[in-house]
């Protein structure tokens, strides 16, 4: 039963991820007084891309085609660590949050290589910028997770969720507030949203993620797009699971799971709305201001860790 | 039995130089030295495995027949490092068996085959010595033989200067190591005696021993700011020698440090640990930052050795802090992490240096800006190099991740300490480790992306061909080891637990260490199946030209170079680099079209300028002043002798 639900959790992430993207795009359009495309548009895009042929630059090696597959696979495995509906995940091991961070890094490393395999300026440009952003995002990402792990006296993500579930909602500690702030900033950088990167930009010179995937087409592009949608949803789910897991099922009955699913949908909807509002109201940062942005995240994460020691 | 095998290994390795010298006129025997050496290394691996996995201890003592105390003994710690030395050297020698004849002929080749086994033997001596004399004997020989091996590649003015810096710093370090041994007097006959006497030493003397060992072994390991020799000496050696120096020789320093800090002294006050942690943080960060700015592949790899030594020191520092806080369980974990990272770094770093050798063999350059597109031309070399890159970056399913994860896990345990400083500093060190990992990822995305992917940037790179089969096999063996340890860490971790039990008596590795071994194989299987399935599904592909904004004439010069790739990071961390740059613009007629622009940027690390230069200047100035004693006048010299005699007589009268 537990295994079944955990498998369903992964499938949910896998299948609902494009919808999350579609909803964000639609919400942004409405906020900007446009009509916007249907929320199902990302599915249609994926389907279309999967049917097309894979165009490979003549200079490229096997890495070019391997990169999207590794990215997709590693993102999917990372998703297996995040509990959604109740306090357990498919994969649950001590210290697994480090594994989660590094699995995302594995996918990103290969995407950077794939970008450079195209042999044009844009791939290198995107990879170089991604290297800057991801390098500086990794430390606050991990430190924030470390602080939550210490506060929850547990080393696995599922364990942290289980601990938080039995806490009083109104006894929100400073550690959690700081870690949440840090992780929220990191999440924006990791998923390439405004103000760090603009996923809808059409100008190559301002692109980060889009410049890396410029050379990709067909099924490879579909895998990359799907993987980045999953990554966005996984990081949202991680924020929800670590900081506001209340509402998740405590038993494995159909009733509890049903309620948990509804609550989860509401929480994701709230995050999506916030993201759409932020993206519509904030301008993209100049690239050399991104280190400052992540510097704030690092400072918050460091404070969170210091507070875990001071407040015990 | 093992004792006999060990002696056989020693004798066989020592006979290789003799065989080389005797057979050098006989062309048919050309393959003899490498085969003999590989055979003896295989025996060495078997002996070391029996010691490390089976826990067999044995002694080879020649103190009775020699006039000095000279004994070798193998306990688990020695066996582990012996295993590291032999198992990494074997593939390197396999690689060399084809690389050396292709690049060296005549006397230089013979010298290589004479010095290589002696160099290996000196490292074995260091790892297995059980008397200070034997240890220091091996320690000095290691420096001299490696310097000799570097000299084989040429002795231009620049190279001799670099070797001078290397020898100078090694001897300064060796002086500190000798000092650390001397402080044990009168109980410095052998290691067992030293171990027994250390407990009774006064704290100040223990601190002195620790600091001398820290500086002495730190110089050899290349921690910042004692790393100055490392990026000078490693890149100029022949590639297989660089592989051995970076991969294996640096680890003997870690061995020495662990022997002193944990085995002899058994840990100390927590500031020892913080000092080591600080050295680890600084070495790790600066090492990787300097590496990012390099575009000479071997210099870049040398700086990465500084970085990885930093990561090892992070683990050692955490272990010392835990010991001081009476948490031997976590100390064992941190120590196991550091030792495992020694092995992992030895494997992937020698693989990377061999890869660099393969690149220079095929493309005749190591300048990243001249490379590109090698993956399509050297499929095997490219694939194993990619594995090495993933390992050094610490990506999951490769060996670097396992040891870095263990280090993370031990840092996290810092929060359980009652001491506030430990509870704050150790978890924060996890952030430093993450930053190092992120920077390393950026650096190796650059290395692999620029050298192996995209279009070739020079004619040499374009006409590169795959290297010979023995070279591929040597690299392939190391790459396999990277993946095997990365997926099945339990293979090493289980015996590592017994090793830490010997160093920190009565403590087995905590459960946390083995939990990872349960998850990784499953993930690996899942990833493998999924990757294979997707790859099988999307088989069809069509070759097209790279998108060039619809314009014709895309060429290799339009790709991002190594310098361009690292520019954003260099800009953000500009405080570290402090480059002196000059831009000269020769103006032409119209204001916006100058005739020529030349750009030059010279980077000297601030250590040379502000830390070493004043010291060197002071020594030179003092030498100049002392020279005034040397007048060349014989009467003055007679006066000196007379004065010395009087002084001695007076001294003897009053003592």
Which residues 233-272 of chain A have a CB within 8 Å of chain B?
none
Q: What is the DSSP letter of A205?
A: G
For residue A189, give the 3-state DSSP assignment: helix
B582 and B624 part of one domain: no
Indicate if B425 and B494 belong to the same structural domain: yes
DSSP conformational letter for B150: H
pLDDT band with cut points at 50, 70 and 90 for residue A303 = very high
Give the DSSP H/E element, type plus range, for residue A22: helix A2-31
How confident is the model at residue B68, as a pLDDT?
81
pLDDT (mean) for A22-51? 94
Between the CA of residue A71 and those of A84, A239, B9, B351, B392, what are the distances in Å?
A: 22, 21, 47, 25, 19
Is the domain of B614 the same as that of B598? no
pLDDT confidence tier of residue B589, bands split at 50, 70 and 90? confident
Taking 70 as the threshold, does the pLDDT of residue B504 lie above it? yes
Three-state DSSP at A57 gives: strand
Task: Note whether B382 contacts A: Cβ–Cβ < 8 A.
Answer: yes
Cβ of B408 within 8 Å of Cβ of A72? The answer is no
A194: alpha, beta or left? (left if phi > 0; alpha if psi -120 to 50): beta
Query: For all residues of chain B together, what is the average pLDDT?
Result: 91
In 3D space, the residue among B145, B261, B147, B134 whose CA is nearest the CA of residue B207 turns out to be B261
Which tokens in the block code for residue B41? 């290394």
A296: Cβ contacts below 8 Å, ≥ 6 apart:
A185
Residue of higher predicted confidence among B87 and B547: B87
The answer, yes or no, to whether residue B275 has pLDDT greater than 80, is yes
Report the pLDDT value the prediction gives residue B377, as an integer from 0 to 100.
94
Q: Tell me, what's the pLDDT at B651?
A: 92
Total domains present in chain B = 2
pLDDT tens figures, B95-144: 999 999 999 988 898 899 999 999 999 999 999 999 999 999 999 999 99
pLDDT (average), residues B51-74: 86
Same domain, B322 and B362: yes
Q: What is the pLDDT of residues A52-90, one digit of tens each?
A: 988 999 889 999 999 999 999 999 999 999 988 888 888
Contact map slice: B 519-538 vs A, CB within 8 A: 519, 522-523, 526-527, 530-531, 534-535, 537-538
Integer Cα distance of B576 and B583 in angstroms: 21
Q: What is the mean pLDDT of chain A?
A: 91
Measure CB to CB from residue B519 to each of A91, A102, A302 and give the nearest one.
Answer: A91
Identify whether residues B352 and B417 lie together within a single domain: yes
* Domain match, B366 and B507 both: yes
Confidence of residue A165 (pLDDT cuts 50, 70, 90): confident
Residue range A296-304: average pLDDT? Answer: 96
Is the CB of A132 less than 8 angstroms away from the CB of B538? no
Q: Which residues of B touch A146 (CB under 8 A)?
A: 411-412, 427, 430-431
Instruction: Name the minimum distance, in Å, from the CA of B471 to any CA of chain A.
Output: 22
Q: What pLDDT is attached to residue B31? A: 83
Q: Which domain holds residue B617?
A: 606-654
Q: Is the pLDDT of residue B610 over 80?
A: no
Predicted pLDDT of residue A88: 82
Chain A residues 58-77 with a CB less than 8 Å from chain B: 58-66, 69-70, 72-74, 76-77
Asked if A104 and A75 count as a contact pair (C-beta separation under 8 A), the reply is: yes
> Is residue B341 included in any domain, yes or no?
yes
> A221 pLDDT band (50/70/90 cuts)?
very high
pLDDT surpassing 70 at residue B268: yes
The CA R_g of chain B, rounded to the nearest whole Å, is 26
Shortest CA distance to B241 belongs to which of B155, B353, B143?
Answer: B353
What is the spatial distance between Cα B314 and Cα A302, in angstroms, rounded to a whole number?
Answer: 18
In sequence order, the β-bridge partners of residue B584 are B598
Helix (H) or strand (E) holding B584: strand B580-586
Largest Cα–Cα separation, chain A? 59
- Min mean pLDDT across B13-17, B308-312, B609-613 is at B609-613
Residues B644 and B595 in one domain: no
* Cβ–Cβ gap A55/B544 under 8 Å: yes
Tell me which chain B residues have a C-beta less than 8 angstroms from the C-beta of A109: 390, 393, 395, 441, 444-445
B352 and B401 share a domain? yes
Residue partners of B611: CB distance under 8 A and separation at least 6: B225
Please check whether residues B387 and B468 belong to one and the same domain. yes
B537 min Cα distance to partner chain A (Å): 10
Q: Which two tokens stand for residue B42?
A: 């295989």
Element (H, E) at B581: strand B580-586
Q: What residues of chain A lie within 8 A of the CB of B516, using their CB?
A: 93, 95
Q: How far is CA B557 from CA A233, B82, B492, B545, in A?
A: 39, 47, 46, 16
End-to-end CA distance of chain B: 55
Distance CA B331, CA B594 (A): 63
Summarised one tens digit per residue, pLDDT across range B418-466 is 899 999 999 999 999 999 999 999 999 999 999 999 999 999 999 999 9
- Could you state, in order of their start, the residue ranges of all structural domains in chain A? 2-310
A301 in contact with B, Cβ within 8 Å:
yes
Task: Show the CA angle centred on residue B102, arms to residues B100 and B106, nearest 5°.
Answer: 70
B603 has pLDDT over 70: no
Q: Does the pLDDT at position B179 exceed 70?
A: yes
Please answer whether residues B427 and A145 qualify as being in contact, where contact means their C-beta atoms are separated by less than 8 angstroms: no
Least confident range from B47-56, B170-179, B248-257, B315-324: namely B47-56
**What 8-state DSSP symbol labels residue B129?**
B
Q: Say whether both B647 and B582 belong to one domain.
A: no
- In percent, the amount of chain B with pLDDT more than 70 equals 99
B447-477 in b/e form (b: 16+ CB < 10 A) is bbbbbbbbbbbbeebeebebbbebbbebbbb
Instruction: Find the closest chain B residue to A298 by CA distance.
Output: B431
Per-residue confidence band for B29, with pLDDT thresholds at 50, 70 and 90: confident
Residue B375 in any domain: the answer is yes
Kindly report, residue by residue over B297-353, the tens digit of the pLDDT.
Answer: 999 999 999 999 999 999 999 999 999 999 999 999 999 999 999 999 999 999 999
pLDDT value of position B446: 96
DSSP assignment of B286-320: HHHHHHHH--BHHHHHHHHHHHHHHHHHHHHHHHH
Task: Examine the domain organization and report whether B320 and B387 are in the same domain.
Answer: yes
Instruction: Write down the pLDDT at residue B30.
Output: 79
Chain A residues inside the 8 Å CB shell of B572: 132, 136, 288, 291
For position B339, what pLDDT does the model report? 96
Are both B369 and B476 inside the same structural domain?
yes
Token pair in block for residue A44 = 């249609």
- Measure CA of the first residue to CA of the last residue in chain A; give whole Å: 37
Which pLDDT score is estimated for B581?
A: 75
């Amino acid at each position: 039963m537990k295994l079944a639900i955990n498998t369903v959790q992964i499938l949910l992430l896998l299948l609902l991820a494009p919808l999350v993207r579609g909803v964000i795009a639609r919400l942004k359009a409405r906020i900007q007084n446009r009509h916007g495309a249907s929320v199902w548009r990302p599915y249609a895009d994926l389907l279309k891309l999967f049917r097309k042929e894979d165009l490979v630059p003549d200079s490229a090696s096997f890495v070019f085609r391997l990169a999207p597959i590794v990215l997709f696979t590693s993102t999917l495995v990372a998703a297996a660590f995040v509990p959604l509906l109740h306090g357990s995940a498919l994969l649950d091991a001590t210290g697994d949050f480090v594994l989660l961070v590094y699995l995302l890094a594995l996918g990103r490393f290969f995407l950077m290589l794939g970008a450079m395999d195209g042999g044009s300026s844009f791939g290198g440009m995107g990879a170089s910028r991604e290297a800057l952003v991801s390098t500086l995002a990794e430390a606050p990402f991990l430190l924030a997770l470390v602080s939550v792990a210490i506060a929850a006296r547990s080393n696995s993500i599922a364990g942290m969720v289980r601990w938080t579930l039995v806490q009083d909602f109104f006894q929100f500690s400073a550690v959690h507030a700081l870690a949440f702030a840090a992780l929220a900033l990191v999440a924006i950088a990791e998923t390439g949203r405004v103000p760090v990167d603009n996923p809808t930009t059409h100008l190559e010179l301002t692109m980060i993620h889009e410049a890396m995937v410029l050379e990709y087409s067909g099924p490879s592009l579909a895998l990359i797009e799907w993987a980045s949608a999953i990554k966005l949803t996984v990081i949202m789910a991680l924020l929800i699971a670590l900081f506001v897991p209340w509402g998740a099922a405590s038993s494995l009955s159909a009733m509890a799971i049903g309620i948990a699913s509804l609550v989860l949908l509401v929480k994701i909807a709230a995050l999506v709305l916030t993201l759409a509002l932020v993206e519509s109201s904030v301008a993209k940062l100049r690239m050399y201001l991104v280190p400052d942005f992540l510097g704030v995240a690092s400072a918050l994460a460091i404070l969170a860790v210091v507070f875990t020691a001071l407040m015990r | 039995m093992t004792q006999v095998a060990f002696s056989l290994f020693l004798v066989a390795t020592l006979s290789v130089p003799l065989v080389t010298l005797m057979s050098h006129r006989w062309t048919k025997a050309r393959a003899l030295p490498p085969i003999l050496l590989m055979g003896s290394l295989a025996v060495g691996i078997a002996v070391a495995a029996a010691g490390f996995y089976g826990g067999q201890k044995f002694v080879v003592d020649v103190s009775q027949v020699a006039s000095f105390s000279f004994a070798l003994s193998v306990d688990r710690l020695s066996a582990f490092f012996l295993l590291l030395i032999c198992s990494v050297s074997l593939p390197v020698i396999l690689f060399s068996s084809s690389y050396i004849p292709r690049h060296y002929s005549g006397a230089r080749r013979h010298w290589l085959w004479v010095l290589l086994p002696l160099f290996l033997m000196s490292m074995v001596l260091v790892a297995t010595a059980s008397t200070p004399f034997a240890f220091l004997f091996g320690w000095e020989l290691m420096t001299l033989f490696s310097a000799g091996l570097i000299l084989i590649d040429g002795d231009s003015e620049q190279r001799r200067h670099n070797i001078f810096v290397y020898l100078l710093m090694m001897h300064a370090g060796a002086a500190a190591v000798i000092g650390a041994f001397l402080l044990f007097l009168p109980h410095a006959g052998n290691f067992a005696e030293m171990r027994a006497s250390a407990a009774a030493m006064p704290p100040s003397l223990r601190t002195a021993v620790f600091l001398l060992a820290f500086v002495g072994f730190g110089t050899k390991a290349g921690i910042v700011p004692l790393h100055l020799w490392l990026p000078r000496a490693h890149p100029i050696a022949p590639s297989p020698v660089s592989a051995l120096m970076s991969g294996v020789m640096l680890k003997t320093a870690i061995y020495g440090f662990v022997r002193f800090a944990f085995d002899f002294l058994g840990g100390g006050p927590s500031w020892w640990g913080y000092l080591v942690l600080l050295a680890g943080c600084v070495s790790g960060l600066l090492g990787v930052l300097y590496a990012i700015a390099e575009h000479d592949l071997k210099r870049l790899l040398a700086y990465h050795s500084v970085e990885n030594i930093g990561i090892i020191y992070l683990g050692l520092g955490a272990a010392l802090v835990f010991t001081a806080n009476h948490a031997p369980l976590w100390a064992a974990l941190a120590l196991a992490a550091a030792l495992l990272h020694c092995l992992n770094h030895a494997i992937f770093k020698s693989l990377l240096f061999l890869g660099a050798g393969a690149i220079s063999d095929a493309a005749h350059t190591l300048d990243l800006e001249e490379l590109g597109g090698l993956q399509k031309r050297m499929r095997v070399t490219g694939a194993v190099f990619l594995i090495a890159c993933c390992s050094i970056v610490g990506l999951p399913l490769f060996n670097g991740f396992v040891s870095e994860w263990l280090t993370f896990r031990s840092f996290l345990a810092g929060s359980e300490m009652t001491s506030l400083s430990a509870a704050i500093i150790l978890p924060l060190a996890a952030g430093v480790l993450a930053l190092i990992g992120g920077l390393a990822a950026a650096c190796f995305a650059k290395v692999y992306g620029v050298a192996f992917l995209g279009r070739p940037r020079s004619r040499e790179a374009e006409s590169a061909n795959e290297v010979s089969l023995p070279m591929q096999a040597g690299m392939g063996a190391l790459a396999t080891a990277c993946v095997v340890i990365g997926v099945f860490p339990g293979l090493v971790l289980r015996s590592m637990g017994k090793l830490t039990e010997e160093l920190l008596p009565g403590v087995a590795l905590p459960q946390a260490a083995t939990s990872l071994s349960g998850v990784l194989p499953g993930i690996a299987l899942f990833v493998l199946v999924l990757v294979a399935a997707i790859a099988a599904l999307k088989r069809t592909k069509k070759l097209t030209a790279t998108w060039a904004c619809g314009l014709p004439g895309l060429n290799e010069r339009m790709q991002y170079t190594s310098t361009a790739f690292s520019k954003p990071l260099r800009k953000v961390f500009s405080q570290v680099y402090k480059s002196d740059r000059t831009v000269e613009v020769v103006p032409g007629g119209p204001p916006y079209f100058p005739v020529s622009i030349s750009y030059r940027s010279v980077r000297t690390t601030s250590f040379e300028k502000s830390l070493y230069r004043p010291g060197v200047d002071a020594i030179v100035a003092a030498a100049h002043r002392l020279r005034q004693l040397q007048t060349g006048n014989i009467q003055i010299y007679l006066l000196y002798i007379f004065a010395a005699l009087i002084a001695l007589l007076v001294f003897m009268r009053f003592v």
